[in-house]
Structure 1
Amino acid sequence: MSDTAATLRQLKIKSGVVGRLKKEHELYQKELVDQKIKTDKLVANGAEEWDIKNSGKMTEESEKMIKDSEERLGKAYDELRQLVVSAKKEPALAQEEALLKAEGILEEAAL
């Protein structure tokens, strides 16, 4: 496989990874908001202590997952950014669809 073909393949793969991790990160953030609302409702309605405590644990777990997904997204973002920078130096790749798509994903996923 030529260097150009390998670079295009890596652009597609890494773009997909960044896009997936961005969606995952957003889902965990939404889950955290929903879980906090649920916990607040339990407290307001005078639910049993076990239910409130369990909901708090689930909130903590969501916070941990946000941190984890943010770290993985940051790493994947940096890898894709470096690949895009090196691909831009190759004239054969300047107008490739995969490169343009990767740039778009980088803009969308910017932390």
Structure 2
Amino acid sequence: MDDQRIKQIKIRTGVVKRLTKEKSMYEKEVETLEARVNKLKEEGADEHDVRKQTEVLQESRMMIPDTKKRLKTACEELNQMLQKDSDLSEREEFGQAKEILELAQTALA
């Protein structure tokens, strides 16, 4: 019984960790693309190139709210699981899940 619950905690922890990383990567990508678009505009690059890079930037920007929403849902699910299975609090996986959850909630703030 414990093994199955620990397995589920590990899975949920992995999801939260991956989504936190994904959100961070999209935010970095937006910064990079903004710099690229500004540089193209400053250099007077072809309008088509500027427009295409702007489209790519907008697509990346749209991914951030979606990723935040999925991360928030995953955090809530993990938190509920940790509260329900608090009798496993002595297990290493439980502590790791708590740490990842705290990091994810900081990233959401």
1:80 counterpart (78, 81, 93): 78
Partner of 2:92: 97
- Between the aligned partners of 1:83 and 1:98, the Cα distance in structure 2 is 13
Count of residue pairs brought into register by the alignment: 106
Q: Taking structure 2 as the reference length, what is the TM-score of the superposition?
A: 0.93
Partner residue in 1 for 2:61: 63
Residue in 1 that maps onto 2:26:
28
Runs of 4+ in structure 1 off by over 3 angstroms are: none
Structure 2 residue runs of 5 or longer lacking an equivalent are none
Return the alpha-carbon distance in structure 1 between the equivalents of residues 78 and 103 of structure 2: 13
Cα distance in 1, alignment partners of residues 49 and 72 from structure 2: 35
The Cα offsets for residues 82-104 of structure 1, whole Å up to 9 and x where unpaired, read as 1111111x2xx120111101000
Letter in 2 for 1:106: L
Percent identical residues: 36
